Amino acid sequence: MNFTSRLRRISAVRLLSCVVLSSVVLSLAGCSLVPAPASDPTRYYVLTGTPSEVERPAKTGELVLGLKRIEIAPYLNGKDMVVREGGNEIAYQSFARWAEPLTTSIGRTVAGRLARADKVSRVYAQPFSFEVERDYDVSIRVFRCEGERQDGKSFASFSALVEVTEAKPAGAIILRKVFTAPETEWDGKNFSALASALSESVAALTAEVVAALPAK
């Protein structure tokens, strides 16, 4: 092998080494530039329920109630929690969400609290069986169930139309009113605290229903 051939071979080897080294460096640099996957910041919340059936104290209530399907304002019928800004603006919270539809959560909470009332023997949810005789039916239409920021204050806001009627055709109306829960102060950031405050509002609504029920 003459000197020229040897020189060409050495140059080719060096060039190949440089290409390989450059590829490795670029590969490592590329790996370091790809960001690590971020954790999902979304949090999910539920309304506070009632103690389990095992903890229910013995009672002698005789009233049988029917709880109709909960109705809710359309703007609340989503997974994102709602914050009302300045009275008219609705801000959906993408990272603070209900774990289930509000109609389901409110219905379960109300049914559980009604069932624990001393006056009540049993609560049935709609659809009702033809074989079950009920004393009264409860219907609830929710207007507000949200956080609100207004005039520098933040608070939980809940209101609903509640109606209790005799469970028979043209039954008498026992209770019909728009219930507005007292404003509960909220820091505007802690959505777990907001869910807890709204749970207390639902509990207060249920207490008014129980208070209106006649003794059997």
Residue 132 and residue 143: Cα distance in Å, rounded? Answer: 30
Please measure the distance between the N-terminal and C-terminal CA atoms of the chain and give it in whole angstroms.
115
12 or 118, higher pLDDT:
118
Please give the C-alpha separations between residue 129 and each of 66, 133, 168, in angstroms, as whole numbers.
Answer: 10, 9, 14
Question: Over the stretch 66-85, which tens digit does the pLDDT of each residue have?
Answer: 999 999 999 999 999 999 99
Q: Which fold has domain 43-212?
A: Rossmann fold (3.40.50)
Question: Over the stretch 86-142, which tens digit does the pLDDT of each residue have?
Answer: 889 999 999 999 999 999 999 999 999 999 999 999 999 999 998 989 999 999 999
Q: Are 123 and 65 in contact (CB under 8 A)?
A: yes
Looking at residue 216, its pLDDT comes to 73
Looking at residue 37, its pLDDT comes to 73
Residue 97 and residue 41: Cα distance in Å, rounded? Answer: 11
Question: Over the stretch 192-212, which tens digit does the pLDDT of each residue have?
Answer: 999 999 999 999 999 999 999
**Boundaries of every domain in the chain:** 1-34, 43-212
Looking at residue 215, its pLDDT comes to 81
Looking only at the bridges linking them, the beta strands covering 120-125 and 63-67 are parallel
Residue 106 and residue 144: Cα distance in Å, rounded? Answer: 12
CB atoms within 10 A of CB 114: 22
Report the interhelical angle of 191-212 vs 102-115 (nearest 10°): 50
